[in-house]
């Protein structure tokens, strides 16, 4: 199974920070899973939420601040004083960190309906700038975003995230017209039938977010291809 470090080594470090990503590399995770959004000046930055309120000492929306403004905030202290002074990473900084490391990226695009459309363009440009196109995959709850990524790059590996049970899931995915590399269900919805149908179609199944050894072993035995987890070192040890 591929072990995907969810927001980095996020059980032990503030999520989506360089410290968390270095921790994922040290944990020998197969992938880092990270969330990208656009700053006011159109730079892909790494943050889960639309605002910086939960994970920094600021309050604004990401898209209301430039990178220089975002960099003024502390993204570490909310987690622990050991991480005081951690800054929001740009996506480019993450690429610079991992380009010479044996780790891949699962890039989750966080687009909202009011977000600029060029998140996908700007993200892809950076991936190609660092020659990382063969070491990344893209995933999103926003399936319009996945369609845009595919239209921009037909070789992109695309993963559909979904947090609910869908009737006729595989018909739904086929109808999007986006060749599907993987599905990323909330792990509570995974069934053996889903895994069988995915594998019959050449589609991988990556489960999120699996933080418990018992579940991890259950999904491994069911044939799940990847685990998205806050505990990459522990899951690798399994």
Site pattern 77..116 for Ca ion (x: CB under 5 A):
-------------------------------x--------
The number of C-alpha atoms within 13 Å of 112 and in the hemisphere containing its C-beta is 11
Q: Residue holding tokens 């921009």?
A: 152
Residue 228 interface partner, choices Ca ion, ligand G3P, none, CB cut-off 5-8 Å depending on type? ligand G3P
Q: Is 142 in the site for Ca ion (CB under 5 A)?
A: no
The verdict on 142 binding ligand G3P (CB under 6 A) reads: no
209 binds, among ligand G3P, Ca ion, none (CB under 5 to 8 A by kind): ligand G3P
In sequence order, which residues have a C-beta less than 8 Å from that of residue 5 and are 6 or more positions away?
20, 21, 23, 24, 27, 29, 31, 32, 33, 229, 230, 232
What is 41-62 written as a DSSP string? TS-EEE-SSSBSTTTSS--SBG
The smaller minimum CB distance to ligand G3P, of residues 83 and 138, is found at 138
**Which span (27-35, 49-57, 126-134, 183-191) binds Ca ion, by CB under 5 A?**
27-35
Residue 33 interacting with ligand G3P (CB under 6 A) = yes
6 as an active site residue: the answer is yes
Q: Report the alpha-carbon distance of residue 113 to residue 142 in Å, rounded.
A: 9
Active-site amino acid positions: 6, 48
């Amino acid at each position: 199974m591929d072990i995907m470090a969810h927001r980095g080594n996020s059980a032990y470090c503030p999520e989506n920070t360089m410290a968390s990503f270095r921790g994922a590399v040290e944990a020998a995770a197969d992938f880092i899973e990270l969330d990208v959004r656009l700053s006011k000046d159109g730079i892909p930055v790494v943050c889960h939420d639309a605002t910086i309120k939960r994970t920094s000492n600021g309050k604004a929306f990401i898209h209301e601040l430039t990178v220089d403004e975002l960099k003024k905030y502390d993204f570490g202290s909310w987690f622990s004083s050991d991480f005081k002074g951690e800054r929001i990473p740009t996506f480019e900084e993450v690429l610079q960190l991992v380009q010479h490391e044996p780790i891949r990226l699962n890039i989750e695009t966080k687009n909202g309906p009011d977000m600029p459309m060029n998140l996908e363009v700007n993200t892809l440009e950076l991936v190609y700038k660092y020659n990382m196109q063969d070491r990344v995959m893209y995933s999103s709850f926003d399936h319009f975003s996945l369609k845009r990524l595919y239209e921009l790059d037909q070789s992109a590996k695309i993963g559909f995230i979904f947090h609910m049970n869908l009737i006729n899931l595989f018909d739904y995915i086929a109808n999007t017209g986006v060749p599907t590399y993987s599905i990323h269900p909330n792990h509570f919805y995974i069934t053996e039938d889903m895994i069988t149908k995915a594998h019959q179609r050449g589609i991988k199944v990556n489960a999120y977010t699996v933080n418990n050894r018992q579940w991890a072993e259950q999904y491994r035995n069911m044939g799940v291809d990847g685990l998205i987890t806050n505990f990459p070192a522990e899951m690798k040890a399994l």
